[in-house]
Chain A
């Protein structure tokens, strides 16, 4: 479908929804071309490609909120009529109080020339080769090349277009089964894309592991890799959604103006940056902007769409989600020290490369645990002296953020699978007295 037809169909769906009785209607339309290569044991397992067309319709009729999707070339009238019928038998949403009436966002169009398939397999080969050269026995990971056209049309007259492309590599390198390292790299263009950089870091970390021994329970000073920092910052993003705050499932509820982190911590959401997660407008068509969530440890605000903003008597932060606002591209400030210097300053501590399986006992209080994986290096008097395994970080989100002693000047732009699901630009963190637990019967 060409761009003009794509836009026209988007507008037609909005118009038809209004004709059928919707008070408010918004369509976010996407035409996407995504290629992905999955590889393991140094070989490509599968090469995937998805060409898809979606028209996500949000409508409200007498405050009854319905969402649906027109997919591909199907008859949109039938889908809209079904959505209106659903609204007619539904109930008003207490959360809903309208959509944006205007927008200062600009449309953006960039030319895109698909890379040849062979170029993508070469990226993987380059990464695998660098991994081997850096000492790893095997590598596994994923390469993505995505392009999306996004057009929004709303019943309040907002019409904006944006498009963009990205390249992304996640690579985990193994020296042996117990010795691994993980890193990711991304770019909005092939000119700045360096898969070998991630491979070299992951393999170098794997090489440092050697033969890990069981870790010890207790309080440990630790330098956390940006992979770990990104997981924590993603949690901050989720807890900062006004929808989660209103719902009663955020440990940040009622804490605006209070210290939720150390002075070293400033966290923002800023999708205007030319990095993964970049966009020009949110799902209501409102221009995205920088929103400070935490400033020098003090909780400053939440992420809003028009409806949640009205509940809080604020203005939207341009973070719609039409039902639930969310973070798009998070950023944590950098500091003045290099991460090498931070490690050198550790008298007795750990360097943790990555974590996964972050789960809460209580989201309102913020008690959670997460499991370190890949390189967990033991540091004594500033030197890496070995590695450990089988440990868990058992913490409270706010208390952990309050224990951030310093942040590195180097930052990486990270998103990875389930854990750091929101792209985040983050430094290395030096955390004091991180609570480490482990299985009682580890040996």
Chain B
């Protein structure tokens, strides 16, 4: 059977699965079909360790009664397979003896969304892709006079999705994605520095050009060698802190996006990804300066976190999370929207056909301000520029975070003077966002795979923003 026939058959099977979900006590049911054609390559120190072409297809059904929610998935794509999945989901929903959220949205949507691939992934020969990534490895290897260790992972997918539910919503989508990760370790004698870069794009093979992969890699290896050869340790103390887009972006993701996930706020993820310092009654509370407005927007064309409808058939839109320093709107899926009373705002995403949609970010970033980057650095007498980071983490309430510099510089009298090795920022969420007093004009994004859920659902996201300046920050 050809791919397009398999997809049509998958759509029909999803409808069939939904029919099987009907029955006494069923308040809402949905069926999702996905067929994802994937290619992955992993290079280690210039050698192609493994290449993996995989087509992943399956159907899931979710059945909600007043007392429980049952979810079943199968990759046995025939009528028997989906009949069994529907029966299992109904049986499990009925085995629950609680009070389930009402998953109905009250609206019916019918839509089809696709993303144009300027260079369709299928049109590029596999050996051309191998060659392109091999060349990237050579940039990382030859761009330094130091010994290097390199790992590169290239992943592409073209995913056809179909969602149908008992409210009459029917959404089909075609979602192509390209992702590149590289890990670089440079050695000088007994000393080492490492870097990791992740870039993601929704679209075709033009991704590598659009993301400027080779240029970034060249700069990356130069910067890392510079850190290793010329980086100095610094004295702990209070400094003005300038964060580059990469650090702004991770802070947006970790200490704004995550704590604003409504399921987390209400305890749904408590035993894994944790809770939040934000409560359901926090909107309006101050968490940052007036300069801080952070949004999550799935509708940015070609962004890694792009979608037009979420995986629960809800239309995507931009969400303003922190508005001029105040807690504003939570991220919501059907379940959290029902429980909290706010309704879904299209944040329900599932990483594959086989897992339930959770509340997820898409592209989370700080809105731009009015400063040039020269102005931001120029107004610092004694400071640190944290352009990128390696080690980072944040507690499970999203309050205490740490970013350790990878590419970092001393700023003296408005000028970058010398590289600084591994400056450490450990700071609270309001401590960080409350100290932002200048925001740059130019936004840059990094790709990310956000982790959440059980089983773990790695989700494609972007994070970013402009350069920002914070005053009087403790750096260790």
- The answer to whether A323 touches B454, judged by C-beta atoms less than 8 angstroms apart, is no
Task: Assign chain B's interface to a size class.
Answer: 35 or more
- Distance, CA A82 to CA B185, complexed state (A): 34
- Say yes or no for A368: interface residue by CB 8 A criterion: yes
Q: CB-CB < 8 A to B111: which residues of A?
A: none
Residue B201, interface by CB 8 Å:
no
A138 contacts B by Cβ under 8 Å: yes
Q: Given A47-B69, A68-B53, A170-B271, verify A90-B92 contact (CB < 8 Å).
A: no
Is A405 engaged at the interface, CB distance under 8 Å to the other chain? no
Interface membership of chain A positions 358-376, coded 1 if the CB is closer than 8 angstroms to chain B and 0 otherwise:
1111111101111101000
The answer to whether A89 touches B127 (Cβ under 8 A) is yes
Considering only residues 323-380 of chain B, those with a C-beta below 8 Å from chain A are 335, 354, 356
Closest CB in chain B relative to A362 CB, distance in Å: 5
- Which residue in chain B gives the minimum CB-CB distance to A96? B49
Name the residue on B nearest A52 (C-beta).
B75
Contact in complex: B69, A95 (CB < 8 Å)? no
- Which listed segment binds A: B24-32, B94-102, B441-449? B94-102
Say whether A46 contacts B47, CB under 8 Å: no
From residue A412, how far is it (CB to closest CB) to chain B in Å?
17
Nearest residue (CB) in B for A354 is: B396
Determine whether the beta carbon of A46 is less than 8 Å from that of B74: no
Task: Determine the distance from Cα of A117 to Cα of B183 in the docked complex, in whole angstroms.
Answer: 44
Contact A121 B95 (CB under 8 A): yes
**Which residues from 411 to 436 on chain B have a C-beta closer than 8 Å to any C-beta of chain A?**
422, 424, 426-428, 431
**Inter-subunit contact A364/B192 (CB<8 Å):** yes
A66 to chain B, nearest CB (A): 6
Q: In chain A, residues 239-273, which have Cβ atoms closer than 8 Å to a Cβ of chain B?
A: 243, 246-249
Instruction: Check B275 against A177 for contact (C-beta < 8 Å).
Output: yes
Q: Do B271 and A40 have beta carbons less than 8 Å apart?
A: yes
Chain A residues within an 8 Å CB radius of B400: 371, 390, 392, 438-439, 442
A438 engages B426 (CB within 8 Å) = yes
**In the complex, per-residue mask of B297-312: 1 if CB is within 8 Å of any chain A CB, else 0:** 0000000000000000
B193 contacts A by Cβ under 8 Å: yes
| Contact A49 B427, beta carbon cutoff 8 Å | no
Chain A residues within 8 Å of B269, by CB: 40, 140
Q: Do the beta carbons of B474 and A90 come within 8 Å of each other?
A: no
Given A47-B92, A367-B391, answer yes or no on A249-B271 (Cβ-Cβ < 8 Å).
no
Report yes or no: A50 in contact with B151, Cβ–Cβ below 8 A: no
CB < 8 Å: which of A65, A73, A93, A358 contacts B77?
Answer: A73
A48 to B97, CA, bound (A): 15
Q: Pick from B81-89, B166-174, B211-219 the stretch touching chain A.
A: B81-89
Residue of A whose beta carbon sits closest to that of B275? A177
Q: Are A417 and B456 in contact (CB under 8 A)?
A: yes
The smallest C-beta distance from B236 to any residue of chain A, in angstroms, reads 9
B154 within 8 A of A: no
In contact, A52 and B73 (Cβ under 8 angstroms) = yes
List B contacts of A367 (CB < 8 A): 391
Q: Are B454 and A47 in contact (CB under 8 A)?
A: no
The distance from the CB of B434 to the nearest CB of chain A, in whole angstroms, is: 9
Alpha-carbon gap, A31 to B133, bound state (A): 35
Complex Cα spacing A48 to B73, Å: 8
* A248 with B356: CB separation less than 8 A: no
- Give the distance in Å from the alpha carbon of A91 to the alpha carbon of B130 in the complex: 8
Measured between beta carbons, the chain A residues less than 8 angstroms from B139 are: none
* Given A140-B270, A359-B391, A362-B193: A121 in contact with B97 (beta carbons within 8 A): yes
Residue of B whose beta carbon sits closest to that of A253: B149
Give A360 to B125 CA distance when docked, in angstroms.
37
B267→A138 contact, CB < 8 A: yes
B382 within 8 A of A: no
- Whole-angstrom distance from the CB of B386 to the nearest CB of chain A? 13
In the bound complex, residues from chain B placing their C-beta under 8 Å from that of A40 are 266-271
Q: Decide yes or no whether A44 CB sits under 8 A from chain B.
A: yes
Q: Is B119 an interface residue (CB 8 A)?
A: no
Q: Is the CB of B45 within 8 A of A442?
A: no
Q: Which of A368-421 contact B (CB under 8 A)?
A: 368-371, 373, 390, 392, 417-418
Q: Are A50 and B53 in contact (CB under 8 A)?
A: no
Q: How far is the CA of A53 from the CA of B76 in the complex (A)?
A: 7
A residues 126-177 near B (Cβ < 8 Å) are 138, 140-142, 170-172, 174, 177
B286 at the interface (CB under 8 A from A): no
| Residue A111 interfacial (CB < 8 Å) | no
Does A248 contact B393, Cβ atoms closer than 8 Å?
no
List chain A residues, Cβ under 8 A from B49. 65, 93, 95-96, 323
Contacts of B71 in A (CB 8 A): 46-49
* Chain B proximity of A117: nearest CB distance (Å): 4
Interface flag for A118 (CB, 8 Å): yes
A293 to chain B, nearest CB (A): 22
- Interchain CA distance A224-B120 in the complex, whole Å: 52
Contact of B76 among A66, A73, A418 (CB under 8 A): A73
The residues of B that contact A50 with a CB separation of less than 8 Å are 72-74, 354
- Of B51, B69, B185, B451, the residue contacting A45 (CB under 8 A) is B69
> Nearest chain A CB to B293's CB is how many angstroms away?
22
- B45 touches which of A117, A170, A248, A390 (Cβ 8 Å): A248
Q: Is the CB of A418 within 8 A of B456?
A: yes
Closest 6 CB pairs of A and B: A248-B149, A440-B474, A357-B393, A140-B270, A47-B92, A361-B391
Task: Point out residues on B near A: beta carbons under 8 Å.
Answer: 1, 42, 44-58, 68-78, 81, 84-85, 88-89, 91-93, 95-99, 125-127, 130, 134, 149, 151, 183, 185, 187, 192-194, 266-272, 274-275, 335, 354, 356, 390-396, 399-402, 404, 422, 424, 426-428, 431, 451, 454-456, 473-474, 476
13 A–B contact pairs at CB < 8 A?
A40-B269, A46-B356, A51-B88, A52-B58, A91-B48, A91-B134, A94-B46, A140-B268, A142-B271, A142-B272, A248-B187, A364-B187, A438-B400
Given A48-B73, A172-B270, A362-B194, 17 more A-B residue pairs with CB atoms under 8 Å apart are A35-B92, A38-B268, A40-B267, A40-B268, A43-B98, A43-B99, A49-B71, A64-B51, A65-B48, A72-B74, A83-B53, A90-B127, A121-B95, A361-B404, A362-B193, A367-B391, A440-B426
